[in-house]
Structure 1
């Protein structure tokens, strides 16, 4: 049975212990495509949310997405291995989704919400210390602090994002960073079909449980569960894109290293600016764009430092292996070579 990185058994075919360079490039391409697809899904649900509401959108997302994953997998590879972590991750993802939907319904633009989410890689850097045992040097600590200053600049009083919904999104961003780390952990035991299927399926009961709370939905009570034909088309696009994106993320995270994936975390902001302008005429404020630039710059510097650190570790390891090999040679041979 193949093993995932770290030696854990995956139970799924197609995963090797050490992905090759070609596999890593393919993983990065899948992640980049995944962020584009998930941005299209977000635009579709933001379009239909005024008609169906957050709870119904969550339930429809899960039903359509899980069905599509089941069909793509042909019913195979869906049995979970790490059931506990998969269940916790799925439940937390439902809470994150409903938070984002509520923020969009309450008037937060697509680009503004993505600007807040740009803090996710910085939060992942901090979470990796206790969860993955990583060491963060003073340079990355400094860049992370500067990045969070960029977040504060976006959320400054009087700015476009100075609203309580931004605080709600920031909490959801912390939770999202945690699910990103758990995705990497789950790739060691579970395949992409299982991770995507159970995550999306959990959205169905979560949406139905949240539905009674929409009885007080402004301005005229709860929205209908069944949308119009145009709304249904948007939900089908939404569910299809989510299924495809979750599959791409699961495969990409299994093949490419986190340090290489991290820069792609910022591409949704570009998608959000473009889609928001084309569909709703949304233009982010300069404070949002300026703060996001600081956050992205700090995150990219952290990626650079991570690559430098890993390159130094490889060099030390190779030097140690070479020194160990040399010490095993007979003294006479080493003397002759030195001469």
Structure 2
């Protein structure tokens, strides 16, 4: 799975032009969904451990351009090296989980499950960050998990390894977000992006050496497009966050479900499951409410500091 946008991790925006920021975010999410659709097609012929490093190789092209604009590698300094390494490792493991889920489930199902990440973050922030979660956010978490039950329908539909892998990507993604909450103010964007790429390579390349299969030229083009989409989307997310507040950009990621439904129907023959649509709507509503409460909590804390 292409690393998801992490709006909570970005630096504070400069001169805000929200509409342009929203546009950049929307285009980025189209690219993320397109990259994941290409990866799903490739999983029918190649190991996910081979696909990941090939995708990273092409993703590094636009990312290197972004890093050069930020001053290059010489200016890179990690303020929290251990947490940076852990973040990269979690991103790599999460991508393995996500890619396997794509190979076994429709894109929309994987995205719908992945959208419950804010709920897991809310729960884990209590023991890890020592945050207080009040009744409103707890209610949103409960409602969100009810949405997951609507989608997977335990007892009516068989739970597969694909569902478990999607849930695995949720927990690794939540770990990444929690780390970002601790270090994002101190770390450079170049360090954060580079850590993800290195994490993807570290978790996939050792196994890729044993499962490598010479790809057809057309498949090289497909994985190249997937990598370029993923790397360019990372660039656009950073750009979006420099133009608009994170609270404005974050909800845009949910538009990926629209592209997932479209790609699944057009290219993979997946019928649009009304239970997935309804469940995803519940999860998205719950996540948006959690974001709203987080934003209010942030304003309250800032007011007390002043």
**TM-score normalised by L of structure 2:** 0.82
Q: Does 1:152 align with 2:149?
A: yes
Give the distance between the partners of 1:77 and 1:184, measured in 2 at CA. 25
| Cα displacement string for residues 105-140 of structure 1 (whole angstroms, at most 9, x for unaligned residues) | 2x3111111111111122222334444554322112
Against the structure 1 CA distance between its residues 242 and 183, is the aligned structure 2 distance closer, same or farther, given a 3 Å change threshold?
farther
Give the distance between the partners of 1:161 and 1:255, measured in 2 at CA. 44
Q: 1:234 aligns with which of 211, 214, 222?
A: 222
Give the distance between the partners of 1:125 and 1:251, measured in 2 at CA. 27
What residue number does 1:99 align with? 97
Against the structure 1 CA distance between its residues 307 and 194, is the aligned structure 2 distance closer, same or farther, given a 3 Å change threshold?
closer
Tell me, yes or no, if the aligned pair for 2:61 and 2:228 is still in contact at 8 Å: no
Q: 1:286 aligns with which of 263, 271, 274?
A: 274
Tell me, yes or no, if the aligned pair for 1:27 and 1:251 is still in contact at 8 Å: yes
Give the distance between the partners of 1:212 and 1:158, measured in 2 at CA. 40
Q: CA deviation at 1:254?
A: 6.9
Give the distance between the partners of 2:44 and 2:126, measured in 1 at CA. 41
What residue number does 2:67 align with? 73
Give the distance between the partners of 1:23 and 1:65, measured in 2 at CA. 27
Aligned pair count? 293
Tell me, yes or no, if the aligned pair for 1:192 and 1:251 is still in contact at 8 Å: no
| Cα displacement string for residues 225-260 of structure 1 (whole angstroms, at most 9, x for unaligned residues) | 331111011111111112122233445557765544
| Cα displacement string for residues 4-36 of structure 1 (whole angstroms, at most 9, x for unaligned residues) | xxxxxx9xxxx6xx5456166665554443322
Give the distance between the partners of 1:145 and 1:95, measured in 2 at CA. 27
Give the distance between the partners of 1:189 and 1:129, measured in 2 at CA. 22
Give the distance between the partners of 1:237 and 1:166, measured in 2 at CA. 27
Give the distance between the partners of 1:284 and 1:276, measured in 2 at CA. 8
What residue number does 1:217 align with? none
Against the structure 1 CA distance between its residues 195 and 307, is the aligned structure 2 distance closer, same or farther, given a 3 Å change threshold?
closer
Q: CA deviation at 1:68?
A: 3.8
- Structure with the greater relative contact order (CA < 8 A, sep ≥ 6): 1 or 2? 2
**301-310 vs 289-298, greater mean Cα deviation:** 301-310
What residue number does 2:108 align with? 111
What residue number does 2:187 align with? 190
Q: 1:53 aligns with which of 47, 50, 64?
A: 47
Please give the root-mean-square deviation of Cα atoms over the aligned residues, in Å. 3.1
Q: CA deviation at 1:203?
A: 2.3
What residue number does 1:218 align with? none
| Cα displacement string for residues 286-333 of structure 1 (whole angstroms, at most 9, x for unaligned residues) | 22222212111212222333344455667x65xx97xxxxxxxxxxxx
Q: Which runs of 5+ in 1 are unaligned?
A: 1-9, 215-223, 322-339
What residue number does 2:6 align with? none
Tell me, yes or no, if the aligned pair for 2:58 and 2:228 is still in contact at 8 Å: yes
Against the structure 1 CA distance between its residues 187 and 305, is the aligned structure 2 distance closer, same or farther, given a 3 Å change threshold?
closer
Against the structure 1 CA distance between its residues 130 and 20, is the aligned structure 2 distance closer, same or farther, given a 3 Å change threshold?
farther
Give the distance between the partners of 1:261 and 1:66, measured in 2 at CA. 24
Q: Which has the larger radius of gyration?
A: 1
Against the structure 1 CA distance between its residues 125 and 198, is the aligned structure 2 distance closer, same or farther, given a 3 Å change threshold?
same
Q: Does 1:297 align with 2:278?
A: no
Give the distance between the partners of 1:312 and 1:189, measured in 2 at CA. 22
Q: CA deviation at 1:195?
A: 2.1
